[in-house]
Amino acid sequence: MLSGGGTGGHIYPALAIARAVKKRYPDVEIAYIGTEKGLESKIVPKEGNIQFYTVEIQGFRRSLSWENVNTIRKFLRAVRKSKQYIDEFKPDVVVGTGGYVSGPAVYAAHQMGIPTLIHEQNVVLGLTTKFLSRFVDVVAISLEESQKYLSRAHRILFTGNPRATEVVQANAAAGRKSLGITDPHRPIILIFGGSRGAKAINEAVLQMIPRMKELPQVQFVYVTGEVHYEEIRAKIPHDDCPNLDVLSFIYNMPDVLAATYLVVGRAGASTLAELTSLGLPSILIPSPYVTNNHQEANARWLEEQGASKMLLESECNGESLWEELKKIIENTEVHHAMSEAARRLGRPQAAEVLVDELEKIALTRVS
């Protein structure tokens, strides 16, 4: 039984685990506890053959608030509901991948004596991981830096992000074909700000477009996000920059990433997993609007390892972004060093390692 929600960064690792388990055990039965209105309610049912249950839950306010009393009530009700689902489905192991919904699901399993594992994708732990780490059998982490926040955990396992296992199998030729780029040696610079885009990145790229013609050998692929596409497209004359493609969204992101030379983007956990599994150099512009500012911690850690350059939003404009791009594009030694550093951090077998661990803890219950 899996649980995780709120953002794709929690949902996609859970589904990557589900696929890896199904690959090893085709007859496995899998269930998922999510929320009715969360993103998981749209994504998980499309996966097929996963029984989907829902609870009502909300997050804690980080400041003192009477609303937290209501949050506790909802948490306790969600724990009771999760116990009903667990009693009905009878899982051998329960896995949480973050988001508030995984709290009651995993805690209920712990109280019922069922083996539990949680997976943390970011450097800085989310509130749910902090809470559950003292109860679960195993805390799996994507990045080694997370260990210093886990003094109360029973067992810590450095696995990497299971999303990496899927990305490393991507097809670069298919990625180039989908972009209409026929030259296999033409470097692709991919710029994106997440599925909805990022205003700060969009503004910096617009300022930078006149400079792109200075690097005619490079193909820039700029993903605006569907929300911003029409507005951005209207600001770019079609013949203004022949080596620039402007897209609203990319549906085959793993394949496109496999064909990419350099990435400019946010520093979410899934992005880090993709970059490191493929050995991709990057310029990361962390979102300052996420909980606990975890993207900055992610980006700073990758920069410290030599795999990335971090630009804070307050530092990011067309000129600063262009200068960082040129340093990497025009110096093959810098690019190679960043690529090797990223690859050293990658964990392409993350999903398989997690399945191995799930086997171990599930067998403790069976025995």
pLDDT classification of 72: cutoffs 50, 70, 90: confident
> Annotated binding site for UDP-N-acetyl-alpha-D-glucosamine: which residue ranges?
7-9, 122, 195, 250, 295
> Annotated binding site: which residue ranges?
7-9, 122, 195, 250, 295
Structure confidence at residue 197 (pLDDT)? 67
Q: Is the pTM of this model over 0.75?
A: yes
| Each residue's pLDDT tens digit, 159-208 | 999 989 888 989 999 999 999 999 999 999 999 987 666 888 999 999 99
Tell whether the model's pLDDT for residue 32 goes beyond 80. Answer: yes
Please state which architecture CATH assigns to domain 169-345: 3-Layer(aba) Sandwich (3.40)
How does DSSP classify residue 48?
S
Tell whether the model's pLDDT for residue 7 goes beyond 80. Answer: yes
Task: Say yes or no: do domains 2-161+348-366 and 169-345 share a fold.
Answer: yes
Cα of first residue to Cα of last residue in the chain, in angstroms, is 19
More reliable by pLDDT, 192 or 240 = 192
Sort 182 into a burial class: Cβ within 10 Å, 0-12 / 13-18 / 19+.
Answer: exposed
Report the chain's mean pLDDT, rounded to a whole number: 92
Percent share of the chain, pLDDT over 70: 95
Domain boundary assignment for the chain? 2-161+348-366, 169-345
Structure confidence at residue 239 (pLDDT)? 67
Tell whether the model's pLDDT for residue 68 goes beyond 70. Answer: no
How many of the other CB atoms lie within 10 Å of CB of 161?
A: 33
Q: Which CATH superfamily is domain 2-161+348-366 in?
A: Glycogen Phosphorylase B; (3.40.50.2000)
